[in-house]
A and B are shown apart, each in its own frame.
Chain A
Amino acid sequence: MAKRSYTKTPMKEQAPEIRNQNFSEVALGYSLEEGQLEASRCLQCKNAPCIQNCPVMIDIPGFIKQIEEGDMAAASEILSKYTNLPAICGRVCPQEKQCEMVCRLGQSKKFEPVAIGKLERLVADWALQQPIEPLAISHDKGKVAVIGSGPSGLTAAGDLAKLGYEVTIFEALHMPGGVLTYGIPEFRLPKAIVSKEIERIQATGVTIETNVVVGKTITMEEIMADFDACYLSVGAGAPNFMGIPGTSLNGVYSSSEYLTRINLMKGYEFPTYDTPVQKSKNVVVIGGGNVAMDAARSAKRLGAENVSIIYRRSREELPAREEEYHHSVEEGINYHWLSNPIEYLNDGTGKLTAVKCVKMELGEPDESGRRRPQVIPGSEFIVEADTAIEAIGQGANRVLLDTFPELQLNRWGYIDADPATGATSIPGVFAGGDIVTGAATVILAMGAGKVAATQIDQYIQTKKAEVTV
């Protein structure tokens, strides 16, 4: 066998100066040969640590072995035991903080970890090319409602359908997918891939009803009367604003609005699509997570000349995926580290003209162990901007919660659910994903969906057993 390469097999990408003008996917995927080469780097560890650090515990060496042998069907078979959305996870999971962080190969100084995410993507993309066959199982074990069609709801629904339940997903928007559809842009996660993975979940017998806002179009009471159990996975979609002076000037957006206009409404194809997105010259994005990266890179693609990210901590604390940070730098996004906006300035006609910021320094660590940023007095500076996008995090959406006061919430306004089971304060009502944890990750939302599916199955079967006794 050839000598193991020290580095990951590179994946082809669109060149930065070309891709920052279009919304097509940046990373182009492995060929089978490239995948086999990468797969051959895996040590096939016993007690593989990568599995332990994957939130849904995929048999990683197992599927990698099948790639190496060129048996994509077998590799795909293994993946599908653990995940309903592999093409998505392969693309958006923060692997460097999960499976790849503990990969034994990567622990030796010389070697990079196995590119587990890229291999997962290879198998999943192969699987999406295969014809979809409707699953031949009867759905007679009971009826379950899933509220919200993000990764958490989709995962729970798929698993419950496979277990023999009749599952209906209710989704408020006109398209399913949650953040996968309205938040994460096309250039990272093509919507055709999201649709195909959703179609595969529908093929297990799941029904998706869009344009249904639970709490408004139908009530929780009706759901609890019509279904044996339900799973609340409504996400944390309500944008927070910092509330600094000038927040209501034209040109100031929440990242949610900016990205929804672009992704869900296809604003980047305006006027072919009817929803407009403002054209900008100088864009400032506030925040340091994936959301900030996505907003900044989208703004660049819409033709902005200067796009900068303002982040109150330093490079080391940046919470975004490593790969997206690198991509953003390659695409010409500027960074103002240790900076924080304090005011949006008005051009005199109600439009944004600049953002006033201050410099920060890192003080003592706070309860979370991160060093708390503090303002450096007298450090004001001005960044010219006709568009500012706040990507400082989201909170719980109140639309459903306000109509369901019996449901217990925690002190941050998220649903109080047992992390081990997803059970809430109300029997038969389970919850998971961002609405329980606050804004987190796709894979954690999926993990919660998997747990809830098993628990809902147990709950319904126990209840039925009690009735027959």
Chain B
Amino acid sequence: MFKIVKKTELNPIEFEIYVEAPRIAQKAKAGQFVILRINEHGERIPLTVVDTDVEKGLVRLIFQVIGKSTAELATLTAGESLADLVGPLGKATDIENYGSVLLVGGGVGIAALFPIVKALKEAGNHVITVLGAKNKDLMILADECGQYSDELILMTDDGSLGQKGLVTDAMKEVFAKETIDMAWAIGPSVMMKFCTLTAEAAGVPIYVSLNPIMVDGTGMCGGCRVTVDNQIKFACVDGPEFLGAGVDWDEFVNRMGQYRNEETVANEDYEKKVTQHG
């Protein structure tokens, strides 16, 4: 059992938890994730390790409620426990001093971007960070990302914080005035696809962090397979980071929708239970 020692509601749809998992805290590096199971009936869901506290043995996770499992996770409070937590999984980000780097995060993807921002800054890079959200209330980790960035650009769909517009608008501005040696984009698949196109147009290599549906997370099922450079890769062991230029985006987006019907059934079933039992 893995105890939740702290829980914060960041906004109505995003939550932060700190979970006791000393071994994972000790090993996790930027870019890696864990898989958790809430209880004996639970499914295995992947979440990125946002941060660690090695001394206290804590792992920090941030998640957005989008379906049954994340909704149920949001009901847990400090003191309660997760049945299972395994990791750190996946390859860590290649952290080195590239020179000038551009990091782009959208929505809950910012949670996965933050550890990379921090690690790249600590490795001596000149860091420019672009964060995008629907509105001011849904913008997460802006202060923390700012703390590790030489320049921070905030974008919202409605202009309630920073500039009004898309993260790709901000990327274009950065590319116009700076030489960027390496870029990262993490967020919804459509966003990552367009960030890739934008970076390609500017001749900048860009990494994306893919978030396909996973089961085991250890390379044993192939459910997370993606096509990169015309080859089948397993995102849980070969990724989750890949160079965006090689990703077959249409296939990736298509595979994300595989269980839409079943996910709706699970969610409705869960809502029924919640309303019945109060």
Contact = CB atoms under 8 A, between A and B. Distances in A.
Contacts of B109: none
A274 to B, nearest CB: 4
Nearest to A275: B43
A173 B85 contact: no
A174 B222 contact: no
B222 A250 contact: no
Interface string B86-128: 1111000000000000000000000000000000000000000
Given A211-B85, A248-B232, A261 B262 contact: no
B215 A275 contact: yes
Given A213-B89, A216-B89, A217-B23, A273 B84 contact: no
A158 B215 CA distance: 29
A305 to B, nearest CB: 18
A271 B273 CA distance: 12
Contacts of A270: 262, 265-266
A398 B269 CA distance: 38
Contacts of B277: none
Contacts of A15: none
Nearest to A218: B23
B37 A174 contact: yes
Given A270-B266, A271-B269, A250 B258 contact: yes
B254 A265 contact: no
A362 interface: no
A277 to B, nearest CB: 8
A61 B69 CA distance: 53
B37 A271 contact: no
Contacts of A275: 43-44, 215
Contacts of A210: 84
Contact of B88 (A216, A253, A256, A271): A216
B262 A397 contact: no
A398 B219 contact: yes
A419 interface: no
A99 to B, nearest CB: 31
Given A173-B216, A397-B220, A216 B27 contact: yes
Nearest to A254: B222
Contact of B222 (A213, A217, A241): A241
A399 B86 CA distance: 14
A212 interface: yes
A262 to B, nearest CB: 11
A160 to B, nearest CB: 23
A239 B220 contact: yes
A interface: dominant SS: loop
A96 interface: no
Given A273-B41, A276-B266, A398-B237, A248 B225 contact: yes
B201 interface: no
Contacts of B215: 257, 260-261, 265, 275
A278 B258 contact: yes
A239 B221 contact: yes
B254 A350 contact: yes
Contacts of B24: 217
A86 interface: no
Interface in B238-262: 248, 250-251, 254-255, 257-259, 262
A260 B220 contact: yes
B84 A174 contact: yes
B216 A239 contact: no
A241 B269 CA distance: 34
A257 B223 contact: yes
Given A218-B23, A278-B258, A257 B85 contact: no
A377 interface: no
B227 interface: yes
A277 B265 CA distance: 12
A248 B227 contact: yes
Interface in B144-181: none
Contacts of B198: none
B221 A254 contact: yes
24 contacts: A172-B216, A182-B220, A212-B86, A213-B218, A216-B27, A216-B88, A217-B27, A217-B86, A238-B219, A239-B220, A239-B221, A241-B225, A241-B232, A250-B254, A250-B255, A254-B221, A257-B215, A257-B221, A266-B41, A271-B262, A273-B41, A276-B259, A350-B254, A397-B219
Interface of A: 172-174, 182, 210-213, 216-218, 237-239, 241, 243, 247-248, 250, 253-254, 256-257, 260-261, 265-266, 270-278, 350, 397-399
A-B pairs with lowest CB-CB distance, top 8:
A276-B262, A350-B254, A257-B221, A274-B43, A211-B86, A174-B84, A237-B220, A254-B222
Given A211-B86, A260-B215, A350-B250, 20 more contacts: A212-B23, A213-B86, A216-B87, A217-B24, A217-B27, A217-B86, A237-B219, A238-B219, A238-B220, A241-B225, A248-B232, A253-B223, A257-B215, A274-B42, A274-B266, A275-B43, A276-B259, A278-B259, A350-B257, A399-B219
